[in-house]
């Protein structure tokens, strides 16, 4: 597998960063994750805009314009012979003389085969736990996932699939996904504070005929919800059927998540067709 690192394509096993890089010494960097589906970079404009926003928030200069970035993404996919893949584009704080000051950012793109069912009939059902936490600089897609990685053992121990963060101000997000709650009246809500604004979340907010209210959501509302679901680029929509061991609704994926998944798939197909 080839990767792109600091201006050139090379074999993944040869791609290394100096140990003085601020990502290694201080966990300082940002990234974005793209899905390549049927040869199309899904919602690439949104991901690039977010990548630039994250970089700006962390005061890191992106060394290419969008046209150049898309060229790199496409060329890498061609070199690897992949039409369906997950792609991570990372920008770090760079080699730092004192492990504190930002250096010249290191830029890399890595790719993994990733094939997704093009037309699932309903959302996957998953179980979650909750954990009180808020990410540093949550509006930026930083590389700092130490809590998310660390919590994986607890998630496994409790036979769950993911973990929802909350604070006294309410729920926020999953380590890699956004959260949505449906109340007994069928109204849909999603938090807007202390979150990374997901691209799949953005797509859902655009779906006509299904208003989604962005507001604070308490843990109590989560417990009383008739449906809860999450969104992400790799998972699309997954229905949460259990929170901290308590069943949600009837314990099966609900109608709102099912409907929104079909609408999301429609939008995806439309996007891919328009780019072919």
Residues that bind its own copies (CB under 8 A): 3, 5, 12-13, 15-29, 31, 58-59, 88, 90, 92-93, 98-102, 108, 110, 112, 133, 135-137, 142-150, 152-153
Q: How many Cα neighbours within 13 Å face the side chain of 157?
A: 5
């959260």: which residue's tokens?
179
18-22 — which CB contacts under 8 Å span 24+ positions?
A: 18/95, 20/95, 20/96, 20/97, 20/99, 20/103, 21/92, 21/93, 21/94, 21/95, 21/96, 21/103, 21/106, 22/92, 22/93, 22/94, 22/95, 22/96, 22/99, 22/102, 22/103
């589906």: which residue's tokens?
37
Residue (136 or 206) nearer to its own copies, CB: 136
Strands ordered across the beta sheet of 8-11: 8-11, 2-5, 107-113, 85-92, 29-37, 40-41
35 and 86 Cβ atoms separated by less than 8 Å = yes
Residue (108 or 219) nearer to its own copies, CB: 108
Cα gap 143→108, rounded to integer Å: 13
Nearest to 112, CA basis, from 232, 234, 207, 200: 234
Token code pair at residue 29: 């960097």
Residue (3 or 126) nearer to its own copies, CB: 3
Residue (143 or 196) nearer to its own copies, CB: 143
Min separation Cβ 189 and its own copies, Å: 25
Min separation Cβ 152 and its own copies, Å: 7
Residue (99 or 272) nearer to its own copies, CB: 99
Residue (88 or 252) nearer to its own copies, CB: 88
180 and 171 Cβ atoms separated by less than 8 Å = no
Cα gap 144→26, rounded to integer Å: 10
Residue (147 or 207) nearer to its own copies, CB: 147
């Amino acid at each position: 597998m080839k990767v792109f690192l600091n201006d050139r394509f090379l074999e993944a096993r040869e791609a290394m960063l100096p140990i003085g890089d601020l990502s290694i010494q201080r966990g300082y960097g940002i990234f974005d994750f793209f899905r390549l589906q049927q040869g199309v970079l899904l919602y690439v404009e949104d991901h690039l805009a977010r990548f630039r926003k994250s970089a700006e928030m962390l005061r890191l200069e992106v060394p290419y314009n969008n046209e150049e970035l898309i060229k790199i993404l496409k060329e890498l996919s061609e070199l690897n012979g992949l039409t369906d893949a997950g792609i991570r584009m990372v920008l770090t704080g760079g080699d730092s003389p004192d492990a504190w000051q930002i250096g010249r950012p290191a830029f890399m793109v890595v790719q993994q085969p990733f094939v997704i069912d093009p037309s699932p009939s309903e959302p996957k059902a998953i179980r979650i736990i909750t954990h009180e936490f808020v990410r540093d600089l949550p509006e930026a897609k930083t590389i700092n996932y130490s809590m998310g990685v660390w919590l994986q053992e607890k998630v496994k121990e409790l036979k769950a699939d993911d973990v929802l963060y909350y604070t006294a101000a309410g729920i926020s997000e999953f380590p890699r996904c956004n959260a949505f709650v449906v109340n007994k009246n069928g109204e849909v809500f999603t938090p807007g504070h202390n979150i990374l604004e997901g691209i799949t979340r953005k797509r859902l907010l655009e779906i006509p005929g299904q208003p989604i209210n962005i507001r604070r959501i308490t843990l109590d509302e989560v417990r009383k919800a008739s449906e809860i679901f999450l969104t992400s680029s790799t998972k699309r929509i997954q229905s949460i059927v259990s929170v901290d061991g308590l069943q949600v609704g009837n314990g099966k994926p609900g109608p709102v998540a099912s409907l929104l998944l079909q609408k999301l798939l429609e939008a995806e197909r439309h996007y891919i067709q328009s780019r072919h």
